[in-house]
Amino acid sequence: MRFNMEENMVKIKIPLPMNDASGIDAEWLWAEPEGDSFVLKNVPIFAYGLSYGDSVRIRIEDDVLVFQDIVRRGGHSTYRIYAKSDRSSPEVVNVLTNLEKLCCDLEPATNKIVGVDVLPEADVYEVYRVLEEAERNGILEFEEGHCGHPLKA
């Protein structure tokens, strides 16, 4: 079991589907114990249906904490950016800066992939508009990992 004593955090294994495009069989996320569940404390880059702040239940397999199901949503949404060039290119940095101004936290995964945590107070429609415009302009591609914001009817 992976455990960070200083921050009372554990690593939880999130199994990914066979032949996932990421090329890996699982993603590992930091989580903080909360009663009988664990609150996710980083942005899922490859796992779908989860966001930062979600409370999850685990099972133990071979001394490893493995995601079982969701207990409670944390109100965050998750997007993944795939930069066409490099995440440090000026046009991508400009998009990332705009997302931060819109109440998003960013978690770089590779030189081309960035996880976007859309905080509960963010306007998810404005975040989506910025991402769509950047995609139309050929700067990046993006996908939604999970939408935890209430949507307008």
Domain boundaries, the chain: 3-72, 77-146
Contact 59, 66 (CB under 8 A): yes
Contact 94, 85 (CB under 8 A): no
**pTM here?**
0.90
Rounded to whole angstroms, the Cα distance separating 142 from 81 reads 4
Q: How many CB atoms lie within 10 A of CB 148?
A: 18
Rounded to whole angstroms, the Cα distance separating 145 from 125 reads 15
Residue 18 has what pLDDT? 78
Instruction: Note the helical H segments in 31-89.
Output: none
Instruction: Output the tens digit of pLDDT for each of the chain's 153 residues.
Output: 444 545 689 999 999 887 766 667 899 999 999 999 999 999 999 999 999 999 999 999 999 999 999 999 999 999 999 999 899 999 999 999 999 999 999 999 999 999 999 999 999 999 999 999 999 999 999 999 999 998 886
Residue 71 has what pLDDT? 97
CA 137 to chain centre: 24
Distances (CA, A) of 80 to 96, 109, 120, 135: 12, 10, 17, 12
CATH top class, domain 77-146: alpha beta
β-pair partners for 115: 80, 107
